[in-house]
């Protein structure tokens, strides 16, 4: 499952960042949730694990496969993305063939994943850049760059944002990067793991080091599950939520 492929619906209740004008910018203190609310991260992880269990590691794909699949999963279900990916591989058994095909043919192959007119050139562009820079499609070198440098390398590719890059790096290499999809964003914002008003993009940076490295995957999967089953966008079921005691949505001054 490309777990970070949350649906675009159900916008999070945290407002996007509004960059201050340079003349009026106020220095922001570094965010350290554990300094302000000691033990919160472990409490949340343990509470979610008590409800949903500890997820087994996802089967690992080749990083370039995960990258293409994650592009396909943008704004659609994992099921549709999987179908589009299978059809792409059926019609173009090699990545070179995808790169060299007319973009309309690639779009036709991935039509079941939706937004094919945008995703086809995005996939071709990413593959083309990877081949040009690396002489092939092997992305194994990313594991040696470290989390932030690897993420920066991927996000230089057109159409690859921090969420897609984090999915590839977490799922394929176990690098401790939290992909912040719509569910993770909403749940983290409500609980108070990130400050009010944090954008999804900024949350990717704030989440660096927030979770213990060995529990980032678990946290990612369980935050998504929580957002889908319990802390839903429209009607969070706080009455049966194990995080309720320390959730800022219910208790604005919760420790």
Query: Closest by alpha carbon to 68, among 224, 217, 145, 172?
Result: 172
Whether residue 119 lies in the annotated active site: no
The rounded distance, in Å, linking the Cα atoms of 44 and 56 is 18
Q: Which x/- pattern, by CB under 6 A, does the window 199-238 give for ligand SF4?
A: -------------------------------xx----xxx
Query: Closest by alpha carbon to 222, among 46, 15, 84?
Result: 46
250 lies in the site for ligand SF4, by CB under 6 A: yes
216-229 helix and 182-191 helix, angle to the nearest 10 degrees: 90
Please identify, using beta-carbon distances, which residue of 143 and 250 lies nearer to ligand SF4. Answer: 250
Count the site residues for ligand SF4 by CB under 6 A.
14
52 lies in the site for ligand SF4, by CB under 6 A: no
1 lies in the site for ligand SF4, by CB under 6 A: no
Q: How far is the CB of 154 from ligand SF4 (least distance, A)?
A: 30
User: 190, 194, 203, 220: which one contacts ligand SF4 (CB under 6 A)?
Assistant: 190
Alpha helices in 116-181 (DSSP H): 116-134, 142-145, 147-155, 162-173
Alpha helices in 8-115 (DSSP H): 33-36, 40-52, 63-72, 78-91, 95-100, 103-109
The rounded distance, in Å, linking the Cα atoms of 172 and 42 is 24
Query: Closest by alpha carbon to 224, among 168, 179, 183, 180?
Result: 183
Q: Hey, is 9 helix, strand or coil?
A: coil
Q: How far is the CB of 132 from ligand SF4 (least distance, A)?
A: 45
Q: How far is the CB of 182 from ligand SF4 (least distance, A)?
A: 14
Which one of 119, 163, 186, 204 is the catalytic residue?
A: 163
Please identify, using beta-carbon distances, which residue of 22 and 252 lies nearer to ligand SF4. Answer: 252
Q: How far is the CB of 122 from ligand SF4 (least distance, A)?
A: 33
Q: Point out which span in 129-137, 139-147, 155-163, 184-192 binds ligand SF4 (CB under 6 A).
A: 184-192
Interface residues toward ligand SF4, by CB under 6 A: 187, 190-191, 230-231, 236-238, 241, 243-244, 247, 249-250
């Amino acid at each position: 499952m490309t777990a970070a492929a949350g649906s675009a619906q159900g916008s999070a209740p945290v407002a996007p960042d509004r960059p201050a004008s340079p003349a009026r910018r106020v220095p922001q203190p570094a965010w350290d949730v554990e300094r302000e609310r000691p033990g919160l991260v472990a409490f949340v992880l343990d509470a979610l694990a008590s409800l949903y269990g500890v997820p087994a590691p996802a089967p690992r794909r080749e990083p370039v496969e995960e990258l293409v699949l994650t592009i396909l999963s943008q704004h659609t279900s994992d099921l549709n993305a999987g179908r589009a990916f299978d059809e792409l591989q059926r019609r173009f058994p090699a990545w070179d063939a995808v790169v060299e095909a007319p973009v309309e043919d690639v779009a036709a192959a991935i039509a079941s994943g939706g937004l094919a007119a945008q995703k086809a050139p995005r996939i071709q562009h990413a593959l083309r850049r990877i081949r040009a820079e690396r002489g092939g499609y092997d992305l194994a070198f990313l594991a040696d760059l470290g989390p932030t440098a690897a993420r920066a390398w991927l996000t230089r590719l057109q159409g690859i944002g921090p969420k897609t890059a984090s999915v590839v790096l977490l799922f394929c290499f176990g690098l401790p990067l939290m992909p912040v999809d719509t569910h993770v964003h909403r749940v983290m914002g409500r609980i108070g793991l990130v400050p009010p008003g944090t954008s999804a993009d900024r949350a990717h940076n704030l989440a660096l080091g927030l979770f213990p490295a060995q529990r980032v995957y678990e946290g990612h999967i369980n935050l998504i599950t929580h957002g889908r089953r319990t802390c839903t966008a429209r009607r969070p079921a706080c009455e049966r939520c194990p995080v309720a005691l320390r959730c800022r949505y219910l208790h604005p001054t919760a420790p």
